[in-house]
Amino acid sequence: MPETLPDPPSPSGRGRRSNGLPATDWGALVDLDPRLSEALLASLGAAGVAAYVEPARGEDSFSRAAQHPPRPLDRLWVDPGHADAARQVVTAEVADLTSLLAETDPGATAHGFVHAVPRTAAARVLPPPALPDPPAKQPPPGKPATPTSSGSPEPDDPDEAWRRIVEGYHREAAGPVAPWPVSEDLDPPTRPQLPSRPERTGEPPAASPPPPAPAPGSRSDLPGWVEPAALDDEGHYVPPPPPPVPRLAPKRIAAALTLVVGFVLMFVPGLLLQPRTAGVAIVGVLLTVTGAAAMIYLMRDAPPTDSGPDDGAVV
């Protein structure tokens, strides 16, 4: 057995209004405009459905703090045992309100007067009745709806608009005039015409006449209005010839041979037909030291070759 809940307070009790019928349980059905609360409570009372309304508020799922909707709304609570009858009454009231609005504004609906209750707004939320769909968005005054390539107005849903664009990518234009600007039309690329190959015959092809020989003192690679005499440049730089390959000095050759002979006598004296003895090894050490010292001595810096008075600064 569900716990018996107290009856809702009287109309003078903190914003709650009831139709006077008791119930053992309550469920949130819809959020409605406060101007419809009294008429809807009377209709539910005539149908034998216990109901009451109170200011609608929600609860923030993060901070658990009570939140009120952007504009004042009343939350309709009804007896869950008579929820089907309550939905029929709400649907009838919405239909009557829509017919009244259509008398002054054709195409108007009761959308915005009745809303479904958010799931997080109450402990028990009942399924709402059939609510009117929101009115279609109209283009602002002076701006007609943008038609698509198929002739129908462009949808407001970006996903639907993108789907139509993708479908019409390879579709040919229906009318004689393409929907895109004429400046975007591109001519097909043309291939350059190559000279035709001469047919093969027994005779060799006729040779083309040689170009006329240039006049004496003239340059064929210059235009006619350029005077060759004006191109004479007396200050043209001519690089000097490269220096000759340096020759190896006999002293360096002798030092290198001494170093090599010393290494051979120390490690492999058999190459020079010498026995592996201590004396031969000592001679190899002496020759190696002598050759290395001679190589180091001959690698000393030589005096600069550009030490004359007209050779400029030496960096």
Q: Which residue has the higher pLDDT, 46 or 58?
A: 46
Interval 1-21: pLDDT, tens? 333 444 444 443 448 899 999
- Indicate if the pLDDT at residue 311 is higher than 80: no
From residue 87, alpha-carbon distances to 91, 92, 97 in Å are 6, 9, 15
Question: Can you give the pLDDT at residue 235?
Answer: 63
Question: Can you give the pLDDT at residue 189?
Answer: 66
Interval 145-156: pLDDT, tens? 555 545 555 556
CA atoms of 17 and 75, how far apart (whole Å): 11
Interval 120-161: pLDDT, tens? 777 889 998 888 777 666 555 555 555 554 555 555 678 888
Radius of gyration of the chain (CA): 54
Question: Can you give the pLDDT at residue 251?
Answer: 85
Q: Give the angle subtended at the CA of 259 by the CAs of 258 and 265, to the nearest 5°.
A: 85
Rounded mean pLDDT of 66-85? 82
CA atoms of 22 and 18, how far apart (whole Å): 9
The answer to whether the CB of 78 falls within 8 A of the CB of 86 is yes
Helices (H), 105-238: 158-167
Question: Can you give the pLDDT at residue 47?
Answer: 92
